[in-house]
Amino acid sequence: MKRWLWVVAVALAALLLIVVVAAGCKSTGATSTGQGQTGAAATPAASTAAVYTCPMHPDVVSDKPGRCPKCGMDLVLKK
Ligand SMILES: [Zn+2]
């Protein structure tokens, strides 16, 4: 009369597997909550790199000198 032990063991193993899979799905779902934009804005190397911006359009930012795509003015070094 040991067959019921195997049934319980298999049931517990299946339950454990379901819990592990559910936990994995939950963790991956929590990490993918739109952190792409904030991660790109907070680049650690940006503190030492030069930033060029347009005097007329502060929203135009570049990491190298060039011209503003909106008005064509030369980008100036931002401090
Ligand atoms: Zn501009």
SS3 60: coil
The per-residue pLDDT for 13 is: 85
Q: Give the pLDDT of residue 40.
A: 52
Tell me: the pLDDT tens digits for 58-67? 999 999 999 9
Average pLDDT over every residue of 6-32: 76
Structure tokens at 17: 């597997």
Give distance in angstroms: CA of 78 to centre of ligand 1: 14
Kindly state the tokens that stand for 73. 């003015």
Across the chain, how many H-helices and E-strands are there?
A: 2, 3
pLDDT single digits (tens) 31-79: 555 555 555 555 554 456 789 999 999 999 999 999 999 999 999 999 8
CA distance 76 to 79: 10
Backbone angle region of 8, left / alpha / beta, with phi > 0 → left and psi within -120 to 50 → alpha: alpha
- Please tell me the distance between residue 61's alpha carbon and the centre of ligand 1 in angstroms: 10
